[in-house]
Amino acid sequence: EDQVTQSPEALRLQEGESSSLNCSYTVSGLRGLFWYRQDPGKGPEFLFTLYSAGEEKEKERLKATLTKKESFLHITAPKPEDSATYLCAVAGQGAQKLVFGQGTRLTINP
Amino acid sequence: GAGVSQSPRYKVAKRGQDVALRCDPISGHVSLFWYQQALGQGPEFLTYFQNEAQLDKSGLPSDRFFAERPEGSVSTLKIQRTQQEDSAVYLCASRRTGGALEQYFGPGTRLTVT
């Protein structure tokens, strides 16, 4: 059974304080690993897809990386508007559905 | 362009009532998914359509849950005889064809069963 575990559950940072969020996964044949951002009362917003170990993708202050066991979402010099819950999900071989972790709730204080 | 839309955004039902939740996917997206999200948790898969065919309903928690997509576009998730444990946010997502795997989500319907 495919599983995703995210850590930490919650993270508070000061504006400008860089950090990383972790996503550990077990999956039978990874087709893709996904990062989403979710604001309160809204649906998840797609950020990145990573397909294979060693791949990296960047968008503004965010950079996602992937190994064979985990993915990191690095946030550089965050701003208060980066506050949100960040969700990690995987799609396994032969499966169409996404399996999500429980999310990391990120708060950036000004 | 227009994203995935869902209606209603909020629904309060008394225990035992039937509810119907609607999803309008992104135009041209062949695949459609329903997920259930409990408070403080990640979304959990319910069911998947490719065009009008329901290809996976393994996540539906009971036979009180029923989904359809009769013309391969709009989808409806129906919950019969609602129970308190059905209270959650129901998310719809769509995905285009051509090998892309990412799914695009709507805003969700928050269902509260009293």
Q: Show the domains of chain B with their CATH numbers.
A: 5-113 (2.60.40.10)
B79 min Cα distance to partner chain A (Å): 21
Phi, psi of A69 (to 5 degrees): -125, -20
Which residues in chain A are contacts of B90 at CB distance < 8 A?
none
Mean pLDDT of the residues in chain A:
97
Q: Bridge-partner residues for A105, per DSSP?
A: A10, A85
Q: Which CATH number fits domain A3-109: 1.10.10.10, 2.60.40.10, 3.40.50.200, 3.40.50.720?
A: 2.60.40.10
- Asked if A68 is an interface residue toward chain B (Cβ–Cβ < 8 A), one would say no
Burial of B94 (0-12, 13-18, 19+ CB in 10 A): buried
Contact A103 B108 (CB under 8 A): no
Band of pLDDT at residue A95, cut at 50, 70 and 90: confident
Question: What would the pLDDT profile of B58-114 be if each residue is shown by its tens digit?
Answer: 999 999 999 999 999 999 999 999 999 999 999 999 999 877 899 999 999 999 999
Question: What would the pLDDT profile of A69-79 be if each residue is shown by its tens digit?
Answer: 999 999 999 99
Q: What angle do CA A3, A5, A53 make, to 5 degrees?
A: 75
Phi, psi of A44 (to 5 degrees): -60, 140
Query: Would you tell me how many other CB atoms lie within 10 Å of the CB of residue B25?
Result: 28
Contact B102 A99 (CB under 8 A): no
Is residue B32 pLDDT above 80, yes or no?
Answer: yes
Residue B100: the pLDDT is 82
